[in-house]
Amino acid sequence: MDAGRVDPAYWRDRRRLIEGLQAGGVNDLAILHAFDAIPRHMFVPDAVRHRSYDDVALPLGYGQTISRPGAHALHLGLAGLTGEEKVLEIGTGSGYQTALLSQLAAHVYSVETVQELAELAEARLRDLGLENVTTRAGDGSAGWPEHAPYDVILCGAAAPRVPQPLVEQLVPGGRLIIPVGDDSGQQLVRVTLETDGSLSEETVDNARFVPLTGEEGW
């Protein structure tokens, strides 16, 4: 199904968002198509649904937020997806980025620490008929070893350091995109496991995310 056609009432708002992303430098057609295909209004609470297609973060409850679309676009671009990858997402949240990833990767595994959010996200993803997504509730800070290795790991919460278990779950050439730091300052980092086993680390930008909880979190 074309998920983006579920409710045509938001079509113009979605087009405005996509045009804004393009004006901001997002030129990857696959990423833009994903934003066109996935209805963000289905992933936010009713109280803030009128702002679904603004480029802002929105509250989800339970101390969590859905990142602004521009941040999602940045992360997806850093992931460098071609459609063939197996991806691990840490922090399902509303399920919106999970749905975007489903349009860009072969299969997405996603873990959410808040049981209630995990259940809501799973229901939304199921309603959209997205069959290349597997979710669970639990501690994702140490990854999901049962399905490793992954081509890409995306973490949606800030860790105190780059978690070694996540690095160990990458394929050679795999990428880990993760914010590192605390409330006083965070940086978005892309870690690549080179084919010779060495690591390269690139600081991309300043960031502001909720703290990563669990075994490898705060």
From the CB of residue 63, how many other CB atoms can be counted at a distance below 10 Å?
Answer: 10
From the CB of residue 3, how many other CB atoms can be counted at a distance below 10 Å?
Answer: 19
**Continuous segment of H or E residues that includes residue 189:** strand 185-193
Burial zone of 33 (CB within 10 Å; 0-12 exposed, 13-18 middle, 19+ buried) = middle
> 52 catalytic, yes or no?
no
- Distances, alpha carbon 163 to alpha carbons 65, 112, 153, 155, 211, in Å: 22, 17, 11, 11, 13
Amino acid code (one letter) for 5: R
Catalytic residue among 67, 94, 110, 141: 67
Torsion, Cα 195 89 21 190, to 10 degrees, reads -40
Active site residues: 67
